[in-house]
Amino acid sequence: MSIQMLSETIDLMSKNGQGILAADESTGTIGKRLSSIDLENSFENRRLYRNLLANTQGLGKYINGIILFEETLDQKDNKNVSIVEILRSQEIVIGIKVDKGIKEMPNFPNENITEGLDGLTNRIINYKEKGARFAKWRNVMVISKDTPSETVVHSNSEMLARYAVICQNQGIVPIIEPEILMNGSHSLQRCAEVTEIVLKELFHYLQKHKVKLEYTILKPNMVLPGQNCDDQSSTAEIAETTFEILKRSVPYSIPSICFLSGGQTPTEATERLNAINQFSDNKPWVLSFSYGRALQEPVISSWIGKEANVTKAQEALLHRAKMNSLASLGEYRIELES
């Protein structure tokens, strides 16, 4: 285990006012985004889009890390420069999605387990050689009357812990993502209860497997009511509840908590991150963002696959990155959107 490498990576990724761009969409997921602008899900279109993201000048001011999909590590721009090198030139740390996706948990209908531990050590070594310094593994849980079950929470938590150990033993910082989806009609309080259970179980297994928490990044959901809940909580209620659950569940040795955006709109994700940081004056962690769709949605709609729109799309990315940077400092204002 390279403690020095882990320490250096964590220092680079735990700076106030910076966050992570999640650009690790699988081939299927990025295909859905491309189809929304009537583009074929081809290797070339994927390369052009990722090249657009990487070549956004000034992005490194607000983004300190980027999570890539395996394919992207080998992609190059039109000048034959690797996307990895382009990102490094802006001092953006390279990360990689290493899980193999979610599958239905046997004997537990409508619940999932994330796969990918088989061969993970060799994949990590390969990704590290290509420039990756951190990794990400995502679990997905759904709130309903009977879910998530105790067994599924246990199983996913242990899977995350085993993944984290493999990463750290190779000098790679693990991002741990126990996502609780917004799907459903559950209340804010029900989400709070489930989030606390999941986080406490997760850290039980991380400590049981001797994961070094000081070299780990947590990527949780904010505590939110379900999308179909009749009572949609205020931004202030969401911020207060989220911070209280974190205080009760997350050890202070975790250096950085980077929220996922889930199904939130770009402005919702920014406003709520800002409110959490304003609510928490004496926070023991850096509270930042690791957004995918909430950063990329305006980029896709601005680009629509046209070379003439690349600059416009990059400006949209830079704007959203800047807004979330301000939100991570508690300095965002809605007037800045215009």
How far is residue 17's CA from residue 93's CA, in Å, rounded to a whole number?
Answer: 15
CA distances from 292 to 153, 171, 197, 213, 316 (A): 24, 25, 25, 24, 14
In the block, tokens 């009977």 appear at 146
Of the candidates 141, 137, 160, the one whose C-alpha atom is nearest the C-alpha of residue 150 is 141
How far is residue 26's CA from residue 2's CA, in Å, rounded to a whole number?
Answer: 29
Give yes or no for a contact between 309 and 327, defined as CB atoms under 8 angstroms apart.
no
Q: Is 219 a catalytic residue?
A: yes
- 3-state class of 37 per DSSP? coil
Sorted by where each starts, the structural domains of the chain and their CATH numbers stand as: 3-337 (3.20.20.70)
Q: What is the pLDDT of residue 193?
A: 97
Q: What is the pLDDT of residue 282?
A: 81
| Phi/psi at 229 (5° precision) | -70, 135
The DSSP output letter for 62 is T
- 3-state class of 83 per DSSP? helix
Omega before residue 148 within 30° of 0, cis: yes
Of the candidates 97, 136, 212, 219, the residue annotated as catalytic is: 219
Task: Tell me what percent of the residues of the chain surpass a pLDDT of 90.
Answer: 97
For the chain, the first-to-last Cα distance in angstroms comes to 47
Q: What is the pLDDT along the chain (338 residues), one digit of tens a residue?
A: 689 999 999 999 999 999 999 999 999 999 999 999 999 999 999 999 999 999 999 999 999 999 999 999 999 998 999 999 999 999 999 999 999 999 999 999 999 999 999 999 999 999 999 999 999 999 999 999 999 999 999 999 999 999 999 999 999 999 999 999 999 999 999 999 999 999 999 999 999 999 999 999 999 999 999 999 999 999 999 999 999 999 999 999 999 999 999 999 999 999 999 999 998 778 899 999 999 999 999 999 999 999 999 999 999 999 999 999 999 999 999 999 98
Q: What is the pLDDT of residue 2?
A: 86
How far is residue 94's CA from residue 9's CA, in Å, rounded to a whole number?
Answer: 10
Q: Which two tokens stand for residue 159?
A: 């899977």
> CB count, 10 Å around CB of 163?
26
- 3-state class of 38 per DSSP? coil
Give yes or no for a contact between 95 and 12, defined as CB atoms under 8 angstroms apart.
no
Give yes or no for a contact between 94 and 132, defined as CB atoms under 8 angstroms apart.
yes
pTM: 0.96
Q: What is the pLDDT of residue 253?
A: 97
Q: What is the pLDDT of residue 281?
A: 73
How far is residue 156's CA from residue 158's CA, in Å, rounded to a whole number?
Answer: 5
Q: What is the pLDDT of residue 279?
A: 85
Q: Is 237 a catalytic residue?
A: no
Of the candidates 177, 201, 271, 297, the residue annotated as catalytic is: 177
